[in-house]
Structure 1
């Protein structure tokens, strides 16, 4: 099979012009996908789970069906039903999947939540979303105990791995735990969900301000046909590994809806605490992973390892999303493994909207072309399409037809909703440029774009140039206030082991950027740091660095900049 051959899309233009997803009136991912695979083939593998100690568990779709039915019955018993809101805060353990499926089946609205949240974060989210039930483990239960008096809607508490006073012990509630997953247990009552009913709340990882509640309906998994079939290029025979944490949107793409819509098996590596990206390489080899998805941060760490020492012969498709992937990373990975990394673009509010698909030539650094089923344009501030080669706001057409997988609204926040849905378009808040071949190039969040000396500079371009230098492990680029130029480009740089910060190195990096990209983009200031501020989902918080620079500037000028 050649590198560019694809199982599912052989001609991009043809697929783009003919593809559509039929959304039935009633739809439920639990019954219509997971249970359907279970009934079609009782031995069909849904998940291979392993942890850092090498413990393994295998689950078929039949196990998933039976376990989720039992949990659904437990939820009925606690008077949780259609429309009730359930928060699931669990690490990468199988119960995350079975509880999520149970919630979907009974029409409850569930919300995945990262385990790194503090009691303060959780209190805000539980009260914002009026959650009635929480599912967590003994390691995180204290956070809920601490805020319980301040969360009046929270009445049902499930513990997946033991007992605590006031909590329901999931293990003891199971019918014959030893054979719980193989005994067919019917649902205590039937529930039907319309495709338009609410199913899922994500809290947007918000690189600025308080997170918003993104509401998706039961049609959302259907939207991930595009993610799974075209971008991951999955078939029923694949074993797909997405590294993401269960607490945020990307895990739904690659650990849940995307692969299972296509009948592929998901691989789960449950790591806690200290994590070395290089732990993933022996797993890819041992389990013969066929398709692999990781954020740029992880690919940047993986290329530091001796990749030639591993057997990647089964690995067919590598993809990355979440932030711009530096072309240098793609080059090193491809040289060592023979595999290209295909990028895509999407948000918590969408599925994969723009992507490089295996049947297309890959342009390192580009996010690709609009996904089938999505009409994407770049607009100016007046809502007109910008000419080719000019930067514009990424805008998604919202009707005729409405793209499947686009969120419904920001829950209880009509202002935020109406600010992004304008005249039949959804504005993502991101900027991009389109080239002559129709490929999109991501420039950054609207508020990350640096305007300096009359130029507009996208931070990711400068960061990509920096990372090509052998000394640079990671970098973040922001606009820093400057008395003469208004704003200058400033880079925060994390060095690789063995390199020491110095004025000479800073100068060398500046010259390197001038040579690699347009000279006006080079960082006039470089600060060496030990690490970069990141969101819980691993994206760099440039806003924090910008605010730091603003404070520094104001202190320097003793407030006379007012």
Structure 2
């Protein structure tokens, strides 16, 4: 039996009421689903492009063979079920190949951003207990700095070892002069070149026995206080994204399948109707370390046997984005609102570029009406559909005019397969229509809801109430089933789609010897939605000047991630505090209004 959102379901209400996850096979494995189940293994899976003009094409068969070789190599290093393998690679084939190899082994992959600085990388490698790291050459120097502090890390596999920062394309703040020093030589028995490591290994690999509930991936997210949290998901995670993928890319009238009930995933025909026009091509500039790139585009597209474009861009550039859309006839793209606003600055895009674009989906922060109007006028009617989710439970609600009338300013309606409600976060009772409460999703049998916070059972319990997962977002629901976002219930900053924990930024800034106290908040910004703002109380011996500001920004870039540094720094004589000495971030936000 297979399930369908369309054409069997004639309306959104039918889909919401009749949809079920019961058809996911008991022996489900992500890698099998994404690669081996397809009828045409020679269909194009990945169009890989580099800004120096190089272009590589990979079929599903190519990805299967290459990830088999890598899986055999990792197995020889002792990687097995439950072991963690970190992936610190931009939009290059080695990124998804490592994930796929881990899932074939029954191991757990760990996507990490190439933008992470020393503290961010060190913490995540240590907290996860990563045994192996596959790292891009652009990040190798940072890894070498922290490696001696990571006792569980046994092996390093470097991608593009002979290249300098993604073939000369440095990310923001990257080291363009990185070279092959003595730490990169193959004479170390625990350091390897990625291509050489995979060469001459067997092209066959028997996929480990897994179930939908087998641990598969840890994705780190920041909280308002304390260290980042590792969000553990299972093998059915990307399958759980498919109903929303079907909605926001407007695959109306096409089959969406979760799989067949079968005895063996090795012989199963899982979800093999492509469900979209044969010319569908997908691309996102989003970091392949982010669930918004992996789950909103890359892996659901491969579930349906369709083509994805990859390109390590470094920093986002609007004209380069248009060039990629044109060159690869991209039909569907996920663009964070910040990227859309930057693309809106290019005049007459349809006159300058020959675009095949049909749908844009966006998330991470609310869309503004002018974005919808721009796409309708400047992109000749391209639809822009909004989605809502989080690392712990992604793609819960969607605003898609192909399924129901869009109400300006609303989040949309729940995606079929997910039970969403507005509840009282203390009592667990559902709030009345129109009342503000916590947005929550039922955990039971929902594949997109995370299993636990890695090594933080107490925090898992704090967001779990009577079978609900509490998102930490406040909102309301109207009488027609539309959800309306109110605010975060904590101090998390969402800037350019990235979630930044103010506590982590404050801790980094406090390492500066001339900082007495600091409070970090998010303040509104027309391009990025929010920017990180730091209110700094200097030590009595230091003046607050531009040189001091740059020292603080550099410190945060080096310690955390390139996107976490404070773009605004204000020096103050004292900070508002509670009677127990806690910084009152609310008053800092109010003072900036």
Place the TM-score, normalised by the shorter chain, in its bin.
0.7 to 0.9
In the TM superposition, residue 99 of structure 1 has moved relative to its aligned partner by 1.1
In the TM superposition, residue 312 of structure 1 has moved relative to its aligned partner by 6.3
Q: Distance in 2 between matches of 1:539 and 1:159?
A: 26
What pairs with 1:376-525 in structure 2 (closer than 5 Å)? 376-380=420-424, 381-399=426-444, 402-447=445-490, 492-493=524-525
In the TM superposition, residue 392 of structure 1 has moved relative to its aligned partner by 1.5
The answer on whether the counterparts of 1:205 and 1:536 sit within 8 Å (CA) in structure 2 is no
Q: 2:298 maps to what in 1? A: 256
Q: Are residues 253 and 10 of structure 1, via their aligned partners in 2, closer, same or farther at CA, if it must alter by over 3 Å?
A: farther
Q: CA offsets, 1:98-120, max 9 Å, x none?
A: 11100110011110000011122
Q: 1:102 maps to what in 2? A: 101
- Unaligned runs of 5+ residues in structure 1 are 450-458, 464-475, 479-488, 497-528
The answer on whether the counterparts of 1:8 and 1:230 sit within 8 Å (CA) in structure 2 is no
In the TM superposition, residue 223 of structure 1 has moved relative to its aligned partner by 0.7
Q: Distance in 2 between matches of 1:424 and 1:153?
A: 35
Question: What SS does the aligned partner of 2:138 have?
Answer: coil
In the TM superposition, residue 124 of structure 1 has moved relative to its aligned partner by 1.0
Question: What SS does the aligned partner of 2:431 have?
Answer: coil
Q: 2:334 maps to what in 1? A: 293
> Which of 5-14 and 428-437 deviates more?
5-14
The reply to whether residue 231 of structure 1 matches residue 248 of structure 2 is yes
Q: 1:131 maps to what in 2? A: 130
Q: Are residues 320 and 551 of structure 1, via their aligned partners in 2, closer, same or farther at CA, if it must alter by over 3 Å?
A: farther
Q: CA offsets, 1:77-112, max 9 Å, x none?
A: 111111111000001111101111001100111100
Q: CA offsets, 1:439-498, max 9 Å, x none?
A: 11222211359xxxxxxxxx99xx9xxxxxxxxxxxx9x9xxxxxxxxxx99655699xx
Q: 2:544 maps to what in 1? A: none
Which residue of 231, 243, 259 corresponds with 1:214? 231
The answer on whether the counterparts of 1:227 and 1:253 sit within 8 Å (CA) in structure 2 is no
Tell me the C-alpha RMSD between the 2 structures.
3.6
Q: 2:320 maps to what in 1? A: 279
- TM-score, normalization by structure 1: 0.76
In the TM superposition, residue 271 of structure 1 has moved relative to its aligned partner by 0.5
The answer on whether the counterparts of 1:111 and 1:200 sit within 8 Å (CA) in structure 2 is yes
In the TM superposition, residue 33 of structure 1 has moved relative to its aligned partner by 2.9
Q: Distance in 2 between matches of 1:442 and 1:537?
A: 28
Q: Are residues 315 and 351 of structure 1, via their aligned partners in 2, closer, same or farther at CA, if it must alter by over 3 Å?
A: same
The answer on whether the counterparts of 1:8 and 1:229 sit within 8 Å (CA) in structure 2 is no
The answer on whether the counterparts of 2:438 and 2:475 sit within 8 Å (CA) in structure 1 is yes
Q: Distance in 1 between matches of 2:354 and 2:465?
A: 46
Q: 1:514 maps to what in 2? A: none
The reply to whether residue 35 of structure 1 matches residue 36 of structure 2 is yes
Question: What SS does the aligned partner of 1:427 have?
Answer: strand
Q: Distance in 1 between matches of 2:573 and 2:284?
A: 37
The answer on whether the counterparts of 1:9 and 1:359 sit within 8 Å (CA) in structure 2 is no
Question: What SS does the aligned partner of 2:37 have?
Answer: helix
What pairs with 1:106-185 in structure 2 (closer than 5 Å)? 106-162=105-161, 164-165=184-185, 166=188, 167-175=191-199, 185=203
The answer on whether the counterparts of 2:247 and 2:403 sit within 8 Å (CA) in structure 1 is no
The answer on whether the counterparts of 2:438 and 2:472 sit within 8 Å (CA) in structure 1 is yes
The answer on whether the counterparts of 1:224 and 1:261 sit within 8 Å (CA) in structure 2 is no
The answer on whether the counterparts of 2:338 and 2:527 sit within 8 Å (CA) in structure 1 is no
Q: Distance in 2 between matches of 1:541 and 1:385?
A: 38
Q: Are residues 58 and 303 of structure 1, via their aligned partners in 2, closer, same or farther at CA, if it must alter by over 3 Å?
A: same
Q: 1:504 maps to what in 2? A: none
The reply to whether residue 302 of structure 1 matches residue 343 of structure 2 is yes
Which residue of 308, 312, 319 corresponds with 1:270? 312
Q: Distance in 1 between matches of 2:243 and 2:446?
A: 11
Which residue of 231, 243, 247 corresponds with 2:289? 247
The answer on whether the counterparts of 1:207 and 1:541 sit within 8 Å (CA) in structure 2 is no
In the TM superposition, residue 384 of structure 1 has moved relative to its aligned partner by 2.3
Q: 2:18 maps to what in 1? A: 18
The reply to whether residue 89 of structure 1 matches residue 88 of structure 2 is yes
> Which of 365-374 and 430-439 deviates more?
430-439
Which residue of 409, 412, 419 corresponds with 1:365? 409
In the TM superposition, residue 50 of structure 1 has moved relative to its aligned partner by 1.3
Q: Distance in 2 between matches of 1:396 and 1:551?
A: 41
Q: CA offsets, 1:299-358, max 9 Å, x none?
A: 111112113424566322111011111222222222211123110111111231111232
